[in-house]
Structure 1
């Protein structure tokens, strides 16, 4: 029986961060993970460059049944605190659009930093370890049996992540542990994920694969101004990934394909100037020709501007400014960047990340019902929630 003050299940972003903080306090920490390597999702994130945080982080960038829960952790360990840690390791990084911060060289810089910090803090990382049973005894300590020995600890931290990208080792273990101890789990679904299309729309738009255009995408809850990307399976790109976390099956989405201009005014102005071009030529100055051909019948595209009435111009403009489509679904956890839903935050202390009903049991990172936008927000939640738990475990 191996004994520790703290056992953390999960050697990802939040698990490693929590181990660092707990170790700094002199706690004996063991991290257990079923994977053969730590931080696999860190390494693949951001196209291998790891979008590790964002210059602009606030509670409005997160989705949860308890929207106030994330406020405490995000205010106590901020993006600036993580940037200070990055600075101590002289890791070069750069900013992309919307305040997103990426490593200049490799996501491995972040993982190596976390592992070095774990080593300095005396935390042990035990890989290739599958948990068979877990229970809390009368003495309030936790007993774990695994295929790699048995363990006992005072504080148990669940940092198992969500269900996204199962090929990287995602499992529902964290949710099972919560339910075992009577803790509610909010329904989970894939977030930051591409849309698939209805069969009719797929046959119509799959030929546009590879086309990307800036747009504003909206549903009844949110709007995002980003690029949309047509794929052979459906719709992707930052705009779609963002709105997908707010989308529900059967709901329509609206896409403004020309958010920066008023097409109705532009076309009427050209008509007034006696420009006699065909509609498809005029629209081709704003959008890819293949996209235009998919949105409109050839009959109207072949007509000249001079032959179009105000009503027809308005209808053309409406189709482009308010293209409405009902996705068939999403690509699911296979390609999702995050899992929405998770361990109910009402059951967890926002200050310590400890279960209110089970002393010594903590939940951090993605396993909780806190989901960030695309752009480094989910990593910041991992750092912040883990840091908070690390002060108390």
Structure 2
């Protein structure tokens, strides 16, 4: 055999696996540089994990599948690795950990680990004609228009999902999965902004506010951003992972305040004040102006009845909207769905039907929340695979 392991994909999962798999490892990627999604993540500082990472923060048709890998290589294990390489980091919010300086430090760390392990990296390189043999696999590796047949005992598919095609994302992992008889769960863009065909929020584009957003699942309390095309911001991106076409989402616009009590208090002390003026203390003025075209916000506080206050609070905490769609894979941070976990070992990420074939990272039907969870799945699934290869 030319190699013990062929790793296809030099992203977070692929590099991490190659650095720890042991033996003769070849890593190939069609991109001109390794770790490109790492480089652009977190505004260039890489939200590399989350302090509160746990299985409940991951979507999958099998909600138990991710538990083994996440428990065996935790967020604290990766933090220890980052610390050991002298990379300074900080918590930004909600347990999200970022590099103080640059995401390139994470990439450099992974490069160094691969070099230390003796892994060979080939960029601008494609893989074709992958086939199973009695002893392992054969494949054709093409670099600079020069094709070369290779053999490997194991193949690790770490090419990610379909999100952000401008970064080179493709359906390669899914094509390989189908070739070897693996089922796929439905694929959808996730962690992605919503769009409305009527561009109803164009007049308040750029306005942001805290909100609680619910879409067929848990509620997320973070910022919502109104855009020319629709809705974005962390709370919206989180909810998008749970949304299915045709469903409505619900916005609670003042989640942290008892708005009803606040309006009643002001009615007693500042009854001559306009209702919209008081609402602008809790919401952006431009948003209040926008809402006044859809809700009755006229009049003075002193003239607003308890029943009207109750109705207004209900409307502001149950604002139902039905998006026409999302911005798609172009801006989606991840792909929801992927290689069906029923066909994989949760302990090793190995195919149950094709020994020596592994799928890790985003290609698998495991999708994390926004905030470093998907990077942690990359590290954890890679280490589960690497541990099996090392054995």
Q: Which band: TM-score by shorter chain?
A: over 0.9
Q: Does structure 2 conserve the Cα–Cα contact (< 8 Å) formed by 1:279 and 1:300?
A: no
Counterparts of 1:150-161 in structure 2, within 5 Å, are 150-161=149-160
Equivalent of 2:234 in 234, 238, 247: 238
Distance 2:293 2:96 in 1: 40
Partner of 1:30: 26
**Worse-matched range after superposition: 314-323 or 13-22:** 314-323
Partner of 1:261: 257
1:289 aligned to 2:288?
Answer: no
Partner SS, residue 239 of structure 1: helix
Cα deviation for residue 391 of structure 1 reads 1.3
Distance 2:235 2:197 in 1: 19
Q: Does structure 2 conserve the Cα–Cα contact (< 8 Å) formed by 1:198 and 1:326?
A: no
User: How many equivalent residue pairs?
Assistant: 385
Cα deviation for residue 47 of structure 1 reads 0.6
Cα deviation for residue 260 of structure 1 reads 1.4
Equivalent of 2:137 in 142, 147, 157: 142
Q: CA, structure 1 residues 93+6, in 2 after alignment: closer, same or farther (shift >3 Å)? A: same
Residue by residue, what CA displacement relative to the aligned partner does 1:260-302 show, whole Å, maximum 9, x if unpaired? 1122222222223352111111111111111011112399434
Distance 1:29 1:61 in 2: 32
Partner SS, residue 80 of structure 1: helix
Distance 1:220 1:21 in 2: 39
Partner SS, residue 21 of structure 2: helix
Distance 1:83 1:235 in 2: 33
Partner of 1:271: 267
Counterparts of 1:185-196 in structure 2, within 5 Å, are 185-196=184-195
Residue by residue, what CA displacement relative to the aligned partner does 1:52-92 show, whole Å, maximum 9, x if unpaired? 01111110010000111101101111111111111111000
Residue by residue, what CA displacement relative to the aligned partner does 1:344-367 show, whole Å, maximum 9, x if unpaired? 111100111100110000011000
1:365 aligned to 2:361?
Answer: yes
Distance 2:217 2:78 in 1: 31
Partner of 1:15: 14
Q: TM-score, normalising length from structure 1?
A: 0.95
Distance 2:209 2:270 in 1: 29
Partner of 1:97: 93
Partner of 1:176: 175
**Worse-matched range after superposition: 318-327 or 109-118:** 318-327
Distance 1:30 1:340 in 2: 28
**Worse-matched range after superposition: 121-130 or 315-324:** 315-324
Distance 1:65 1:298 in 2: 39
1:74 aligned to 2:70?
Answer: yes
Distance 2:83 2:259 in 1: 47
Q: Does structure 1 conserve the Cα–Cα contact (< 8 Å) formed by 2:197 and 2:229?
A: no
Cα deviation for residue 141 of structure 1 reads 1.6
Equivalent of 2:304 in 281, 293, 308: 308
Distance 1:274 1:392 in 2: 69
Residue by residue, what CA displacement relative to the aligned partner does 1:134-188 show, whole Å, maximum 9, x if unpaired? 1112x24211113232211000000010000000000100000000000111111
Partner of 2:2: 3
Q: CA, structure 1 residues 281+246, in 2 after alignment: closer, same or farther (shift >3 Å)? A: same
1:58 aligned to 2:54?
Answer: yes
Partner SS, residue 283 of structure 2: coil
> Which segments of 5 or more consecutive residues in structure 2 lack a partner in the other structure?
none
Residue by residue, what CA displacement relative to the aligned partner does 1:12-69 show, whole Å, maximum 9, x if unpaired? 000001101113xxx1000011111111001000010000011111100100001111
Distance 1:83 1:159 in 2: 22
Partner SS, residue 193 of structure 1: coil
Distance 1:363 1:253 in 2: 33
Partner SS, residue 98 of structure 1: coil
Question: What is the RMSD computed on CA atoms of the aligned residues?
Answer: 1.4
Partner of 1:334: 330
**Worse-matched range after superposition: 212-221 or 40-49:** 212-221
1:131 aligned to 2:131?
Answer: no
Runs of 4+ in structure 1 off by over 6 angstroms are none
